[in-house]
Structure 1
Amino acid sequence: MSVQHVSLAWNGRPVEIEIAWILPELSTAPVMVFLHEGLGSVAMWKDFPQRLCQALGWRGLVYSRPGYGRSTPRPVSETWGPDFMHRQARELLPALLQALGLSGPEAPPLWLFGHSDGGSITLLHASGASPSLSGAIVLAPHILVEDISVRSIEVARQAYESGPLRAGLARYHDDPDSAFWGWNRIWLDPAFRDWNITAELAHIHCPVLAVQGLDDEYGTLEQIRGIARQAPQTQLLELPGCGHSPHRDQPEALIAAVQAFVKQQPLRPA
């Protein structure tokens, strides 16, 4: 992947968004946009986006949200509110897609592929998207806050403060404190315990593949089964021997499932 930067305005200031194109020579192919987890970045996807796009014969776009990877770090004084994923889905992502020519009637077929917080952002974008979105694939998304999520995020805080997590994240983020504390503090904020996007899922009209590992340490199967109740066009994939990151724990099974799923769908939404 060749890393570049795109300039946008965000939170009243200019930011540089790290992006990487996959198979850019496939100029007329559908595009899969990858949205990373709460501590993720372009580099933390490793080779999975490349493998998936090669299997599909599609282009791919991977990007790091502000505060992550090689994008502009979060200012120390900036704290996130309970609407932080809504803002990413309905403000930042549309601005990025527009800047890259991936929105509007002349744009190629567009799919979103989101993991964890990126999966929630994907669902929120799809719930308010125009009919141009062809489909969405979400891995271990959050649609509500569960006790298991909070417990695991508390463990992550301990690992960051006194364990090896900070050093590990420093390999992937210019400012690991920006990435970690932006995510960790809002998830552990008592005001976030009531965050719930279940009702908004009924407004999703595109095809959805929702994937979760049976050993996910950050959420129960209610996180994806709740999507299917609200958006009945959703297909579920529940993977044994798999934790919170299906693309790392079960990449072959996931790629095969995505290939089968997208073949069932029209190239463009009706």
Structure 2
Amino acid sequence: MSSASLLTEHHETLPFQDHYLRVQHLRHAASAADKRPTLVFLHDSLGSIKLWRDFPARLALALGCHAFVYDRRGYGESAPFGPEPRTVAYLEQEALVVPAVLRAAGIEQAVLWGHSDGGTLALLTAAQEPALVAAVVTVGAHVFVEDITLAGIRRAQAHYATTDLPQRLARYHGSNTEPLFRAWTDTWLHPAFRAWNIEAYLPHIQCPVLVLQGSADEYGTAAQVEAIAKQVGGTARARLLPGLGHTPHRQSPKQVLEHSRAFLQEVVK
């Protein structure tokens, strides 16, 4: 049996609360997969199902697990944002939604693999729902605001205004593109957001945590990695990936896959 035949892919629109979410299910053929935690991928502030490319499938195959990927509300092919304006606590608020999404999808235990905003969501969810989360992998997650982060967002604003970035993002987000870009930049660059900090949640995380970040990350420094690894309540492993930027899973997927597989194989066995 080929590796491709071990995994089946299904996309659907999942009714959720008063809106809908676009989701992707990756089902592993191994019977043991039903007993293992499901790999759940949480995207970044401009991310979507499509932008993960084949990374979720490759990790699911490597670990013999099912995987679940979804566009958060306002992203990709999911419903637009609701009428309520985004607040400086939007990540804490979204972390309360993640467990409900997983339960709506029939997931009882998960390994949360999150990039950037998604990594922050993974940490917040693990802190508040320990029975649901078996392990966490973060890539480029933030637990406080740094000057380098704000500078990177200002560069993104300039690119959005002067290049074809809106058109490129629209390939993945359609009519959600403008609202999600403005929500990201306006929130992070708001003066009140400078004091945002979720380090108080970290000691409540009891599951194993792998903290990955590119050494050349244009949105964060190694201080983020150190803060997470030192303060989580459970075991933590940290890896700074030489020469890689904010999306190492796209820049060097084989390397990130191997770090993730090696860390998670004991969790999902």
Which residue of 2 is the match for residue 100 of structure 1?
Answer: 105
Q: So what's the TM-score if we normalise by structure 1?
A: 0.90
Q: So what's the TM-score if we normalise by structure 2?
A: 0.91
Over the aligned positions, Cα root-mean-square deviation in angstroms equals 1.5
Q: Secondary structure at the match of 2:172?
A: coil
1:34 aligns to 2:41 (yes or no): yes
Within the candidate set 259, 264, 267, 2:266 is matched to 264
Q: Return structure 1 stretches of 4+ with deviation > 3 angstroms.
A: 24-27, 264-267
**Contact map agreement 2:37 2:268 (CA 8 A) in 1:** no
Residue pairs, 1:56-205, within 5 angstroms = 56-75=63-82, 78-90=84-96, 92-103=97-108, 109-175=109-175, 176-205=177-206
Counterpart-to-counterpart distance in 2, 1:72 and 1:219? 30
Counterpart-to-counterpart distance in 1, 2:99 and 2:191? 29
Which residue of 1 is the match for residue 20 of structure 2?
Answer: 16
Within the candidate set 239, 242, 248, 1:240 is matched to 242
Provide the aligned length of Structure 1 versus Structure 2: 256
Stretch of structure 1 that moved more, 124-133 or 151-160:
124-133
Counterpart-to-counterpart distance in 2, 1:45 and 1:207? 23
**Contact map agreement 2:39 2:112 (CA 8 A) in 1:** yes
**Contact map agreement 1:68 1:178 (CA 8 A) in 2:** no
Which residue of 2 is the match for residue 252 of structure 1?
Answer: 254
Counterpart-to-counterpart distance in 2, 1:110 and 1:48? 17
Counterpart-to-counterpart distance in 2, 1:31 and 1:209? 17
Counterpart-to-counterpart distance in 1, 2:65 and 2:220? 30
The 3 A distance-change label for structure 1 pair 203 and 167 is same
Which residue of 2 is the match for residue 209 of structure 1?
Answer: 210
Structure 1 runs not aligned, ≥5 long: 104-108
Stretch of structure 1 that moved more, 246-255 or 77-86:
77-86
One-letter code aligned to 2:203: A
**Which string of whole-angstrom CA distances, capped at 9 and with x for unpartnered residues, describes residues 31-77 of structure 1?**
100000000011111111111111111110000110000001125x5
